Amino acid sequence: MNKPLASVLTAAFAFAATLAPAADKPGEWQVLFDGKETKGLRAFKGEGFPSKGWILDNGALKTVPKEAGGQVTDLITTEKFKDFELELEWKVAPGGNSGVMYRVAELDKGPAWFTGPEMQILDDDKHPDGKNPLTSAGALYGLYAPNDKRKLKPVGEFNAAKIVFKDNKVEHWLNGAKIVEYTWGSDEVKALAAKSKFKDKPRFMAEPEGHIVFQHHGQEFWIRNIRVRKL
- Predicted TM-score (pTM) of the model is 0.87
* Total number of domains constituting the chain: 1
Angstrom distance (rounded) from CA 228 to CA 81: 9
Q: Which amino acid is at 223?
A: I
**Which CATH number goes with the domain that contains 63?**
2.60.120.560
Termini Cα distance of the chain: 36
User: How far is Cα of residue 98 from the mean position of the Cα atoms in its chain?
Assistant: 8
**Does residue 218 register a pLDDT over 60?**
yes
pLDDT per position as a tens digit, 182-215: 999 999 999 999 999 999 999 999 999 999 999 9
Residues linked to residue 213 through DSSP beta bridges, in sequence order: 76, 101
**Does residue 1 register a pLDDT over 90?**
no
Q: Which amino acid is at 16?
A: A
Are 91 and 121 spatial neighbours (Cβ–Cβ below 8 Å)? no
Are 193 and 28 spatial neighbours (Cβ–Cβ below 8 Å)? no
pLDDT at 66: 81
Average confidence (pLDDT) over 100-107: 98
pLDDT at 179: 98
pLDDT per position as a tens digit, 55-93: 999 999 999 988 787 788 999 999 999 999 999 999 999
pLDDT at 169: 98
pLDDT at 3: 44
pLDDT per position as a tens digit, 12-61: 434 443 443 343 454 489 999 999 989 899 999 998 999 899 999 999 99
The SS3 of residue 107 is: coil
**Does residue 11 register a pLDDT over 70?**
no
At 15, which helix (H) or strand (E)?
Answer: helix 5-17
pLDDT per position as a tens digit, 112-154: 999 999 999 999 999 999 999 999 999 999 999 999 999 999 9
User: What one-character DSSP code corresponds to residue 9?
Assistant: H
Parent domain of 12:
5-230
**Does residue 227 register a pLDDT over 90?**
yes
At 191, which helix (H) or strand (E)?
Answer: helix 187-194
The SS3 of residue 24 is: coil
pLDDT at 25: 55
pLDDT at 84: 97
